[in-house]
Amino acid sequence: MKYQLDQDRELSAQIAEEIRSAIINGKLIVNERLPAESELCERFNVSRSTVREALKRLAAQNLTRTQRGATGGAFVNRLSYEDAYRQHITTSTLLISMNEVSFETACEARFALERSCIPLAAERRQPDHLAAMRAEIHRQAQPGLSDEVFCDSDVTFHRALVDAAGNPVISYQLAGAVEAMQPLMNMITFTERDRAKIILLHTQIADALEARDAFKTETTLGALAAYTLELARNVTARHVEKVAPPEKT
Amino acid sequence: MKYQLDQDRELSAQIAEEIRSAIINGKLIVNERLPAESELCERFNVSRSTVREALKRLAAQNLTRTQRGATGGAFVNRLSYEDAYRQHITTSTLLISMNEVSFETACEARFALERSCIPLAAERRQPDHLAAMRAEIHRQAQPGLSDEVFCDSDVTFHRALVDAAGNPVISYQLAGAVEAMQPLMNMITFTERDRAKIILLHTQIADALEARDAFKTETTLGALAAYTLELARNVTARHVEKVAPPEKT
DNA sequence: GGGTTTGCAATTGTCTGACAATTAAATGTC
DNA sequence: GACATTTAATTGTCAGACAATTGCAAACCC
């Protein structure tokens, strides 16, 4: 069981990779304790700092957790839905914001993906899902609501819709679409949008879902998508008016 | 600009969190250079080891990269689609394998999500997407193909279908569903499955997509989902036959 | 014997200082 | 000006030390 760390990549990265693949391949199982840092030093023949940097890399990915004390150490972490959610949302947010994704592309993706949960949601929605959606609609109708709170409520509404599908894997996967992109979309469109219209569409979605009418739900969600896209185009058009195009060469 | 690191959480985690939120909030922009380690030591009033552990945490999340040398340092990394893909697939794989997700739940999620790209794919599929799909179908039909290669080809086929939607955000989001779950599904069903039947369904999907018939494509994908589920149930049933249920108290 | 306290040992967290490796820029040489 | 050398800045790695935490067992007390 000797590890030869070959290349000129950083040692801590290689060691982290070694352990990471052991976890992914199931050689290390959940809650299993990794060797102590001092032991890893000997095994990989590196200093403790290097081992620690490797372990911190793993901890940053929620692959391990550490405890101090006599029976402490680094343990393989069970990746919880909550951690995975957060990670997925963060990654999605960064990906969108760092890669000049057009609003149309993001909007299209977001609604296409959300649509996928509707047949299941129509079949399985429970009273509490409907109640959550109606509660958010009610909140959205309150006068004097700040844009920020309205946006939060919007996200919560859609999350309830997704959760109504009763499939945690779908909820996790769609978190990246709904929670990461909805705020971005709201940020762009909030100046233009007609809350009454959005609330109406939300109500129609809730009604259709209550009636277990998947087709109507999909159609209405499509209308919401179209309206969002239209808003964005208005904002863009107005921008072009105001900001003169820079005349480079 | 003084940072007070309060609690008894690890310092390196707090520092990493500080920098991470600066990146997410846009206070640090892509390719911007972070202060040198020695400078961060002074700023946060900690030792260099601690700073380094923090930076390694960020590097593990692809948020930063480092270069050695005179003008080196840690730089805010542009999160590429490739990195995001890999991260998403790894997280999805771990989430499924560590949380006792039933096969039915995973299968349902996987096909529901893939379905969402079909209307767009039918509209936009290009000759190269179709060619890629047909190439994989051809591969799958070759005799003597190992299960592993067949599985790889299966994944590639579905990825081509997803990419045909021409939306990189959708491709990214669906990577978690297709690339993470398909291998798991194949692992379970490969003993039972009839390759000819799968190839037929793949062919029908490619044909329907070529004809830009979204409805037919969705129907056929649904049939593939149903067949996969049926296979899994057969395997489970056989398992129950062979393995006597353990009689614990 | 039973419960409590104390001390010990293992382990991670942090600090300090040193040197190696790398790299771009400055400097020197022809 | 072109090329070689030196220098300085920066990260990567190592070694050793001490602090903080924590489970456990031994000692102790009643």
CATH number of the domain encompassing residue B52? 1.10.10.10
A45 is near strand C: CB distance < 7 Å: no
pLDDT of A146: 87
Distance in Å, residue B69 CA to nucleotide C28 C1': 22
Q: Are residues A70 and A89 in the same domain?
A: no
- B161 found inside a domain: yes
The residue length of chain A stands at: 249
Q: For B74-94, what is the mean pLDDT? A: 93
Clarify whether residues A109 and A201 are in a common domain.
yes
Which chain A residue shows the shortest CA-CA distance from B171? A109
Q: What is the pLDDT of residue B245?
A: 58
Residue A6: CB less than 7 A from any atom in strand C:
no
Q: Which nucleotide is nearest to B74 (CA to C1')?
A: D11
Query: pLDDT band for position B2 (50/70/90)?
Result: very low
Chain B residues inside the 8 Å CB shell of A12: 56
Radius of gyration for the alpha carbons in chain B, expressed in angstroms and rounded: 24
- If contacts are CB pairs under 8 Å, which of residues 180-219 in chain A contact chain B? none
**Three-state DSSP class for A5?**
coil
Three-state secondary-structure class, residue B64: strand
pLDDT value of residue A103: 87
**Of the candidates B158, B102, B186, the residue with the CA atom closest to the CA atom of residue A167:** B102
Tokens of B118: 């079909």
* CATH classification of the domain holding A152: 1.20.120.530
Question: What letter would DSSP give residue A142?
Answer: S
Pick from A172, A18, A245, A109: nearest CA to B171: A109
> What average pLDDT does chain B have?
89
Task: Give the C-alpha separation, A38 to A46, whole Å.
Answer: 10
State residue B117's pLDDT score. Answer: 94
Which amino acid, one-letter code, is at A181? M
Q: What is the number of domains present in chain A? A: 2
Query: What is the pLDDT at residue B248?
Result: 52
Q: Do B56 and A57 touch (CB under 8 A)?
A: yes
Write out residues in chain A with pLDDT < 70, as ranges. 1-7, 239-249
Residue A1 in any domain: the answer is: no
Output the pLDDT for position A231. 86
pLDDT at B231: 86
**Residue in A with minimal Cα distance to B11:** A56
Does residue B180 or residue B186 have the better pLDDT?
B180
**Pairing state of beta strands A73-76 and A64-67?**
antiparallel
Task: Check whether B246 has a pLDDT greater than 60.
Answer: no
A and B: number of Cβ contacts within 8 A: 153
Q: Are residues B111 and B56 in the same domain?
A: no
The pLDDT, as a whole number, for residue A243 is: 57
pLDDT over threshold 70, residue B27: yes
The verdict on residue B19 lying in a domain is yes
- Cross-chain residue pair A95–B101, CB shorter than 8 Å: no
In angstroms, the CA of B12 and the C1' of C15 are apart by: 13
Cβ B174 vs Cβ B113: under 8 Å: yes
Q: How far apart are CA A25 and CA B134, in angstroms?
A: 32
At residue B189, the pLDDT reads 74
Band of residue B68 on the pLDDT scale cut at 50, 70, 90 = very high
Structure-block tokens of residue B247? 């009689």
* The predicted structure's pLDDT at residue B249: 46
One domain for residues B142 and B164: yes
Neighbours of B14 (CB within 10 A): 19
Tokens standing for residue B84: 């995001």
In a domain, A122, yes or no: yes
pLDDT given at position A225: 93
Q: How far is B84 from chain A (nearest CA, A)?
A: 7
List beta partners, residue B74: B66
B59 in contact with chain A, both atoms CB, cutoff 8 A = yes
Q: How many angstroms separate the Cα of B117 from the Cα of each of A189, A221, B91, B114, B124?
A: 25, 16, 22, 6, 11
Show the beta-strand stretches assigned E in chain A. 64-67, 73-76
Encode pLDDT of B187-245 as tens digits.
777 777 888 999 999 999 999 999 999 999 999 999 999 998 888 888 777 666 555 55
Q: Do A123 and A21 share a structural domain?
A: no
Residue after which a domain boundary falls, among B49, B76, B103:
B76
Residue A247 lies in a domain: no
Q: Indicate the residue among A50, A76, A102 that finishes a domain.
A: A76
- Closest residue, by C-alpha, to the C1' of C12: A68
Q: Which of B116, B126, B125 minimizes the C-alpha distance to B176?
A: B116
Residue A208 lies in a domain: yes
Sign of CA dihedral A184, B122, B92, B168: negative
* Residue B89 sits in the same domain as residue B56: no
Indicate the pLDDT class of residue B100, thresholds 50, 70 and 90: confident
Parent domain of A181:
82-242
User: Which of B44, B61, B76 corresponds to the end of one domain?
Assistant: B76
Sign of the torsion angle spanned by Cα atoms B111, B114, B116, B121: negative
Regarding whether B87 and B167 lie in a shared domain, the answer is yes
| Residue B1 counted as domain residue | no
Task: Give the predicted TM-score (pTM) of the model.
Answer: 0.87
Residues A53 and A123 in one domain: no
Q: What is the DSSP letter of A75?
A: E
Q: Are B178 and B193 found together in one domain? A: yes
Same domain, B128 and B156: yes
* Within-domain flag for A5: no
C-alpha span between A180 and A100 (Å, rounded): 15
Nucleotide nearest to A69 (CA to C1'): D22
By percentage, how much of chain A surpasses pLDDT 70?
A: 92
**Looking at the structure, do residues B94 and B172 belong to the same domain, yes or no?**
yes
If asked whether residues A89 and A156 sit together in one domain, one would say: yes
Instruction: Please list the residues that pair with A76 across neighbouring strands.
Output: A64
